Structure formats: structure tokens, C-alpha cells
Amino acid sequence: MKFKKLVILDKVDFFGNQKDQLKELADEVIIYDDTAKTREEIIKRVGDADAVITSWTDLDGSIIKEWSNVKYMGVYATGYGWIDVKTAIDKGITVTNVPHYATESVAELIIGNLIALSRNTLKADKFTRSGEGKKEDLYGENLKGKTIGIIGLGEIGRRVAELASAFGMNIIYSSRTKKDVSYEFCELRDLLKKSDVVSINTSLNSQTEKLLGEKEFQLMKDDSIFINFVHGRVVDETALAKFVEKGKIKAVIDDIQDEKAKKVFIKMKDRTVLTPHIGFYTKSSIKNLTQIVIDNADSYLKGNVQNKVPT
């Protein structure tokens, strides 16, 4: 069994023979390397396809309702908060995603950028290259003995906790349910008050959008560090920018959605470490991501769907 027409709606990275593997799954495969800019363009790209693989294209219910023939949608990511999955499922479309493909990559960069901010690594690099500034401005802080509060103790959150523990940090966490772990469970407000570092590791959904705002950031310790390696919309970025700008919070951010907030974060270069959503972006992780996307589609064709997004 094959799909009649499979559309890759936006950017997918292929390694080795992965593109050939994908082409074996359909009579016709159409691949787009960019993100459609308009609703009309998205609908035109999908056309009469019976299968779609999508990465970063915003797909609201009104777009999905226009699809006349789609039976399968593979999400080229773990999260899918920018896709109206409910409408897709209600329409009879099977939706899959890719959990756990980049746990090590994301967790390692979280800790790496935390160290970079704590030890003024970027400022020190500039000082070494240009001679600008004073060495006295490069004083940093140790991680050992500090408390890191992890919001969302899923697979990535647990790995961040393990790595932080190796540096001698104290671990506390907040989650919808208590986990069978040795770390201290805290309600969100208490976690924010106690932590020297806060790392948010929840996925974006209707319950977590803007989970943290002005009231929550106000609870954090002065000069504490906030880390966001999930979708920017999980926090109120305007509120976060306000507290960074006035010197209460430092920030490590891997995904910025609000352009006005982004300008503030860039301006406050000594209090931020910014990356362009690359937590997952290592060759091994992306190769793994693409393979699982292919395997998900293959499993659907074989009638034994893996990584199906629940209703």
C-alpha cells in the first residue's frame, strides 16, 4: 500500500538514502523547502494530496477544513501547538509526531548556555578578541550549590536534572502530577521563589500557553536566570523582557516569537544568551527526527500507527 500523493509542506532535512525511503511510500512526492506565507498558498500546496508532512507551518482549523483528501499528517517535530490537531482528528486525519528524538541535544545546550551566561563566556570572548572592557567585569557564578527549578519533568526535564545534578546543583520541580523521583516537588509559585535558575520544559498547548507572565516573573529571585527552550508562546515574552530590561532576571532563550521583546533581549546582551531555536539542531538528532517521520508514515500504511497524537 502507498499514498497516492505525499506533500512535504515545508523544510525537511534528509541524510543518506532517507529521501529515497520516503519516495517509496507514495506514487508522487512533492517537496517544498520553504514555509508558505499565506493561507491560500498552504491550501494550494496540499491540493489533492492524501498525506502531508509538516514542520513549522501554522495550520489552523480553517486551513485543515479545506483539505479535501488528506488522511494522514506527519508532524516533523515533537510539539504541535501551532497545528489545530483537534480539527484534523475530527476530520478523520491520523496525526503523528516525533517524541524524544533530541533529548540529549536540547538538555546539553540548556546546560551549556546556562554556563555561558553564569560565567560571562560571550563577554569574555569579546574581551579576549578586542581587548574592550575590563577583566573585573567578567566575574561569574558557580553552579554548584545553586537551586534549579524545572517546570515540566518529562524526558528533557529529567535529563536537565541529571546534568545539573552532576554540577552539584539542587533540583526541585513542578509538574501537573508528582513523579516517582528523588527531587523535591513544589507548586509553581514556590518553585519560582526558591530557584536561582528556572528551566521551563513543557510543550506548548492550550493549557501551557503564557504559563508564566508578569505575576510569575515577579516571584523570582533578583538576578536569577530563566531558561526557555520550548516554544516562545509558553511565556509572556513582553513581561519577561520587562524584567530582563530592569535587571531583575537574566535569560537563556532558544525561541523568541515576539519581535519587540526580541529587540530588548538583544539590547540586554550582558544579561541574555540567545539562540535561534537550535536546541534540537545536531546532525544526529535531525537524522533521527527524519527517520522517525519516515517510519511513522510507513507504520500508518502498514496499519500499525506509531507515535499517534491522541484525541
In a domain, 308, yes or no: no
Give the model's pLDDT for residue 133. Answer: 87
Would you say residue 224 has pLDDT above 90?
Answer: yes
In a domain, 151, yes or no: yes
Average pLDDT over the chain, rounded to an integer: 96
pLDDT band, residue 88 (cuts 50/70/90)? very high
Tell the residue number behind the cell numbers 570572548, with chain if given: 125
Give yes or no for a contact between 148 and 169, defined as CB atoms under 8 angstroms apart.
yes
Give yes or no for a contact between 214 and 238, defined as CB atoms under 8 angstroms apart.
no
pLDDT band, residue 231 (cuts 50/70/90)? confident
CA distances from 120 to 112, 128, 135, 303 (A): 12, 12, 11, 53
148 and 92 assigned to the same domain: no
Pick from 169, 175, 170, 171: which is nearest to 153 by CA?
A: 175
Q: Which domain holds residue 125?
A: 103-274
Give the model's pLDDT for residue 91. Answer: 97
The radius of gyration of the chain's CA atoms, rounded to the nearest angstrom, is 21
In a domain, 183, yes or no: yes
57 and 143 assigned to the same domain: no
C-alpha grid cell, residue 192: 519560582
Would you say residue 207 has pLDDT above 90?
Answer: no
pLDDT in tens, 33-48: 999 999 999 999 999 9
CATH number at residue 269: 3.40.50.720
**Alpha helices (H) along 61-195:** 61-64, 85-90, 103-118, 121-130, 155-166, 188-194
Pick from 281, 290, 298: which is nearest to 18 by CA?
A: 290
Give the model's pLDDT for residue 53. Answer: 98
